[in-house]
Amino acid sequence: MESYRHLFYKYKQFIMYAVAGILSTLVNWITYASCTNILPIESPGTRITVSNVTAWGITLAFSYVFYKNWVFESKTNSRHELIREMLSFAGARVITGIIEIFGVPALVTIGMDDTIWGIEGFAAKIWVTMIVTVLNYLFSKRFVFKKHA
């Protein structure tokens, strides 16, 4: 049992990032799937884009709280540090959000329009999610949740 505890603490950030990534992905995909199925928008392209933007926004709020508190265990000492961190997180997510918002419809347009689990364009959504996940980790680790002096 002690060896498992040691391994957990040794790889805690990676494990928690994986958990956060899974939960964020579920929040994103469930929101996306729900929106694509309930939004009364006739145009498939517009419905996919609106669903994607909505999923991204909800996931942004969820992810910041989870990453700050449980992945990177960031402690901010002042309101200024908190605001800097929040803006850095949002800025990094805007960059990857642009990739997600335009990447999914772009891949659908060029033919990756497979329906998976009855959800239109989900194959493209999966590919873009993998790319965005790697970029989000790199941005969070290097620029957002730096140790404060």
pLDDT digits 0-9 by tens, 58-74: 998 899 999 999 998 89
Structure confidence at residue 109 (pLDDT): 86
Is position 114 within any domain?
Answer: yes
What's the CA gap between 27 and 42, in Å, rounded? 24
Number of domains in the chain: 1
Q: Left if phi > 0, otherwise alpha if psi is -120 to 50, otherwise beta: which for 121?
A: left
Q: Where are the alpha helices (DSSP H) in 71-120?
A: 79-109
Q: Is the pLDDT of residue 117 over 80?
A: no
Tokens 């993998």 correspond to 130
What's the CA gap between 14 and 137, in Å, rounded? 10
Average pLDDT over residues 89-109: 89
Structure confidence at residue 149 (pLDDT): 46
Is position 98 within any domain?
Answer: yes
Given a contact cutoff of 8 angstroms between Cβ atoms, the answer to whether 26 and 10 are in contact is: no
Structure confidence at residue 1 (pLDDT): 64
Is position 33 within any domain?
Answer: yes
* Per-residue tokens: 57: 């926004």
Is position 71 within any domain?
Answer: yes
Is position 102 within any domain?
Answer: yes
Share of the chain above pLDDT 90, in %: 33
Is position 2 within any domain?
Answer: no
* Per-residue tokens: 46: 């517009």
What's the CA gap between 149 and 135, in Å, rounded? 25
Average pLDDT over residues 105-112: 83
- Provide the domain limits for residue 55: 12-144
Average pLDDT over residues 112-126: 75
Is position 63 within any domain?
Answer: yes
Average pLDDT, the chain: 87
Is position 137 within any domain?
Answer: yes
Q: Is the pLDDT of residue 11 over 60?
A: yes
